[in-house]
Amino acid sequence: MSLDRSDLPASPPAARTAAAVLSLAVAVVLGDSGVVTLALPEILRDFGASVWGVAWVLISFNLALALVAVPAARVCVRGDPAVATAGGVIAFTAATTACAVAPSLGVLIPGRAAQALAGALVIVGSLELLVEATGAERAGARRWAAAGVAGAALGPVIGGLLTSAFSWRAIFVAQIPAVLPALPVAIALRGRVGRRRSSPGISQDRPHLLANLALALLSAALTAALFLLVLLLVDGWDHSPAVAAVTVTAMPVAALAAGPAFRGMRAGTASEAVAGSVLIAGGLAGLALLPGAKLTWTLAPQALIGLGLGLSVDSLTAAALRDRIPRALHGGWTIAARHAGVVVGLAILTPIFTADLQRAQTPAEEAIASLVLDAPLPASTKLELAEHLGRRLTAERGRVPDLRPAFEGLRLPATQAPAAAALERSLEDQLARAATRAFRTAFLVAAGLALLALVPALALRDRSR
């Protein structure tokens, strides 16, 4: 891809291309956590790590991004955002390559932090460049906010499909060609972004506290939908990443549909933020109260969460940026708030569900023992199976165990095979029910975090975008 500086933004086709390329880069970086989420169960098994250890693959990225977003924005404000964006693209590509070939969790986690450091420059610099490419401040800011919502919503789907089709390393390989086209666009826009003064009465260093606090709380709550739900589907209910990816499309479809669905009746920032928070809380409560371990039961709660995501995050981001200059700086504050919320959500929710998972293990083991004893199999077969199952449960303590290897090691006559298959299905069903219960408290706490976002949301000025 090659763009001449003289074509931007005077030529509408070139300007539209530039805006599309920059929006894609923003979506890729902000969707990175979602993309990685569906690969976490495979990373967990590949490296033999604990759930908490694998959670750091997400925490390191989000923590680094939360810490450096505002300093990166100041770099863009003091220099040329096009140069900062170009440097960020190059560094992000290098860090992503390191993640793709990481031989261990000890290499992957620092690589994720390096991705975030570089990605911060891409995100905040692209806000200024999108305004320049579109030729309108509000249009550019809307494109930037919409790209972030789309990336967060579509990330898990894309990550699941790539992981299932190839491996977890493919999720990093695929990000490189998606971000690299932003490099020539940034170079073409070098020196084109003008400086503007803040609106009267607004300090350029003062973020919109209410909007950013609401964003942080909603991001903490959404961690359950984008992280815990995936672990439940793949690790708890034993579905493939591809099946989980198709299942969680309910969220991005609802998020992307929220704009058109509510466009004719949008009442203002506060109303949209309040409605979105209630919808997200309701969806998370629905996930906490699932009546069974069936994929279809998750669709309605996911749709509520998606509608809330599309309605609230977009509106709150627009409120945080409105009339505040420099744009990159206040864009940095929104990114810092959102990703700090993700870190807080992971820090609160991961210990809750891992503790509940451990507590559920003993009754699950007792139920498994009862099912084995009641199975219509010879005593010698039951003893052999109990030994295999015991080894599996011990080896995967603290996680939802995969019991299939215990059955694969049995040498059974054809007459016993149907009974063994029925027993295996019963044990898997028992584990799925136990996993569903183990995630319940974490989903309810996440719903509470979404309801907490009502406090700053209700205090916002209810002005239309």
pLDDT tens digits for range 20-74: 899 999 999 988 877 887 787 788 778 877 767 777 888 899 999 999 998 998 8
Backbone phi and psi for residue 26, each to the nearest 5 degrees, phi listed first? -60, -45
Angle between helices 299-321 and 209-223 (to 10 degrees): 160
CATH architecture of 204-465: Up-down Bundle (1.20)
Q: What is the CA radius of gyration of the chain?
A: 24
Query: Is-contact 336 429, C-beta < 8 A?
Result: no
1-191 to CATH, choices 1.20.1250.20, 1.10.150.120, 1.20.970.10, 1.10.1750.10: 1.20.1250.20
User: Could you state, in order of their start, the residue ranges of all structural domains in the chain?
Assistant: 1-191, 204-465
Structure tokens at 175: 């990000």
State residue 236's pLDDT score.
78
Structure tokens at 252: 């991005």
- Cα–Cα–Cα angle for 5, 138, 140, nearest 5°? 35
- Examine domains 1-191 and 204-465 and report if their fold is the same: yes
pLDDT, one tens digit per residue, over 440-452 is: 999 999 999 999 9
pLDDT class for 6, splitting at 50, 70, 90? very low
| Rounded CA separation 274/26 (Å) | 26
Region of poorest pLDDT, from 108-117, 233-242, 429-438: 429-438
pLDDT, one tens digit per residue, over 287-312 is: 999 988 888 999 999 999 989 988 88
pLDDT, one tens digit per residue, over 184-225 is: 998 988 877 655 444 444 445 678 889 899 999 999 998 888
- pTM of the predicted structure, to 2 decimals: 0.76
